[in-house]
Amino acid sequence: MRSLTDWFSEYSDSHQNQLNKRIHFICVPLIFFAVCGLIMSIPFHVASWYHPSEHPLVLNWSFHVLIFVVLFYLRLSWKMGLKMLVFSALCLIGNYWLSQVTTLWLVSLILFTAGWIGQFYGHHVEGKKPSFIKDLQFLLIGPAWVMEELFG
């Protein structure tokens, strides 16, 4: 099993250009947030006697998917797992708030698209392909790498 340091080392190889790094600091969290919003937009049906409004942050698909995502980070590092748990919780809360004031799936789709446009532009400037082309797990390493770069 690869360590978090190994993942970061390989991820960093295609993220040396300062503009690309700054773009990643914005776009990677934006994409993570948008994916949470898109998944949260999928209807979550529970027993008719139970009212989802009583637990809106728990009774949605995004919460359940994020459990597995955070477990992935915890397996690599407890410290990173806790950082990503906090970030994931903020994403859930932010998306819940957004769902109360606008059409969540539409805003999430716009943010997702803008984030990927930024990402691909950054890699164009860098002159290297995104890491996830080589291994899809890098889609989860990216947010942890940004967290590590910004907050050590």
Q: Which residue has the higher pLDDT, 66 or 149?
A: 66
Write down the pLDDT at residue 46: 58
For 37-49, write each residue's pLDDT tens digit: 999 988 876 545 4
Closest C-alpha among 26, 18, 42 to residue 116? 26
Q: Please, what is the Cα angle at 130 between 36 and 115, to 5 degrees?
A: 40
Considering only CA atoms, give the Rg of the chain.
16
Q: What would the mean pLDDT of 114-142 be, rounded to a whole number? A: 85
CA 2 to chain centre: 20
pLDDT tens figures, 66-104: 999 999 999 999 999 999 999 999 999 999 999 989 999
Residue 15 has a pLDDT of: 84
- Highest mean pLDDT among 7-16, 35-44, 122-131 belongs to 35-44
Q: Judge whether residue 110 has pLDDT over 70.
A: yes
74: nearest Cα among 148, 123, 122, 144: 144
**Token pair of 79, please?**
């410290």
Q: Tell me what the pLDDT averaged over the chain comes to.
A: 86
Give, as one character, the DSSP assignment of residue 77: -
C-beta neighbour count of 139 within 10 angstroms: 15
Of 86, 89, 32, nearest to 63 by C-alpha is 89
